[in-house]
Amino acid sequence: MNGKKLLAVLFSVVLVGLALITAFSKKSSFSQEENRTLSVFPKFSLSAIGDKSFMNGFDSYVSDHFFGRNFWVNMKSSLELLTLKKENNSILLTDRDTLVEDVAEPEERKVNMNIDGITNFAKNNPDAKVFMAIAPTALDVYSDSLPYGKSTWSQKAEIDKIYSEISKSAYGIDIYTPLYSNRDQYIYYNTDHHWTSLGAYYAYTQIATALDFKPYGKSPFDVEHASYDFYGTYSSRSKISVAADTIDIYSLASSDLTVTEVIVNDGKEEKSYDSLYFRDWLNEKDKYSVFLGQVQPEVTIKTNVQNDKKLLIFKDSFAHSLVPFLSLHYSEIKLIDLRYTNQNYRDIAEVSEYNDVLLLYNIDSLVHSYDIAALGD
């Protein structure tokens, strides 16, 4: 057997061996390294074969669970960084020495399905006061600092288009403008996809005005620097070295307003807590989970605010660091994450019991997933 044939045989043996190990190895449901839920094996059906969703899901499943995945990803990252690239695994290093994700162009079919879901939700709940706040990602806000030759689509234009499409169903809240106007401040983490507490504060001021209550200024808040060594999802994915992030917790100075109970329902059981802040997470990699803990299908927040006003929020994790501000104005807030529940929202909350309904998502959730479409069921 000549050298080329031997290499081919060895390569085939390695591939088959890795495939078999992958097939029979224990599978994790969550990646601590990337701070995300891993793909599950797709459901097989003729329709799933026809629309290619089965094969797409299968590819994602294999990619997420391939044996030694973290090793191979880290090796690829290290080799690419040796070439002084400012991009790795779709994460870009900006001229601000911060990391941003190169968010793909909107998938119009998913956008339209989500718009239909919002429209149908409003039709099914005609008495509900529905508001929507869409957060841009740091990619767009810091678009003037992208690596040479990189450009991006306009998230502002996409947000405005969505607001226009849902205008008869929900009131679109402009949180883009205050974020963009304050882009030279610390409003997005250097190493993570979320906004900082300061970024969440600027969004809160716009949401408060739209929901017809007066937001607090910055001066009444005490700011606790709860951690100085947060490295988020962008850092894990890219392996590009930038400064660690600070986790800030805002609290009203000299105020009796407080959260009295936080009820977390993970779909199996309910647990009660006495704070919005889960400080044990400050000792873990996923320090952003100090805000409300890890993502759960349903969280109910009760406060001592004496107005009997209730707020229902459908959201992604951008809501977690913003809710502490909103909790100063409502006696009860319920958060529902449609990504993590198989229940219809009606089985979780009676919409008519709430004074306001807020849909709070970052633009990536709107243009690359079907999750919000479930509101139309």
In 28-95, DSSP assigns E strands to: 30-31, 36-37, 87-88, 91-93
| Strand, helix or coil for residue 261 | strand
Residues 55 and 95 in one domain: no
- Give the pLDDT of residue 9: 60
Burial, 163: exposed, middle or buried (Cβ in 10 Å; 0-12, 13-18, 19+)? middle
Mean pLDDT of 190-213: 98
- Give the pLDDT of residue 2: 59
* Per-residue CA distances from 219 to 222, 223, 253, 323, 327 (Å): 8, 10, 9, 19, 18
Residue 329 has pLDDT above 90, yes or no: yes
Residues 179 and 317 in one domain: yes
Residues 179 and 42 in one domain: no
Residues 163 and 33 in one domain: no
Q: Of 243, 233, 318, 264, nearest to 32 (Cα)?
A: 233
| Strand, helix or coil for residue 315 | strand
236: tokens are 């894990």
Element (H, E) at 259: strand 259-265
Residue 266 has pLDDT above 90, yes or no: yes
Total count of domains within the chain? 2
* Per-residue CA distances from 342 to 42, 132, 192, 200, 268 (Å): 15, 23, 28, 29, 12
- Give the pLDDT of residue 222: 97
127: tokens are 């008495």
- Give the pLDDT of residue 86: 83
- Give the pLDDT of residue 254: 84
With a pLDDT cut of 90, the percent of the chain lying above it is 73
Tell me if 77 is assigned to some domain: no
Tell me if 211 is assigned to some domain: yes
- Give the pLDDT of residue 19: 61
Spatial contact of 373 and 121, defined as CB atoms under 8 Å apart: no
- Give the pLDDT of residue 157: 98
Q: Which residue has the higher pLDDT, 250 or 49?
A: 250
Tell me if 85 is assigned to some domain: no
Tell me if 82 is assigned to some domain: no
Mean pLDDT of 215-233: 97
Q: The whole model's pTM is what? A: 0.81
Q: Which residue has the higher pLDDT, 61 or 148?
A: 148
Residues 139 and 248 in one domain: yes
The residue out of 51, 67, 83 marking a domain boundary is 67
Residues 59 and 105 in one domain: no
Place of tokens 């008495």: 127
Residues 102 and 60 in one domain: no
- Give the pLDDT of residue 30: 53
Residues 292 and 361 in one domain: yes
Domain residues for 145? 91-376
Tell me if 86 is assigned to some domain: no
Residue 221 has pLDDT above 80, yes or no: yes
Mean pLDDT of 21-34: 59
238: tokens are 């890219």
Residue 339 has pLDDT above 90, yes or no: yes
Give the whole-angstrom CA distance, residue 135 versus residue 204: 11
Give the whole-angstrom CA distance, residue 264 versus residue 324: 16
Residue 234 has pLDDT above 60, yes or no: yes
Give the whole-angstrom CA distance, residue 366 versus residue 166: 13
Residues 255 and 190 in one domain: yes
Residue 261 has pLDDT above 90, yes or no: yes
Tell me if 84 is assigned to some domain: no
Residues 329 and 229 in one domain: yes
pLDDT digits 0-9 by tens, 275-324: 999 999 999 999 999 999 999 999 999 999 999 999 999 999 999 999 99
Tell me if 289 is assigned to some domain: yes
pLDDT digits 0-9 by tens, 147-190: 988 999 999 999 999 999 999 999 999 999 999 999 999 999 99
Residues 196 and 293 in one domain: yes
Edge-to-edge, what's the strand order for the sheet holding 91-93?
87-88, 91-93, 99-101
Tell me if 72 is assigned to some domain: no
- Give the pLDDT of residue 100: 98
Question: What is the average pLDDT value for the chain, to the nearest integer?
Answer: 88
Residues 9 and 110 in one domain: no
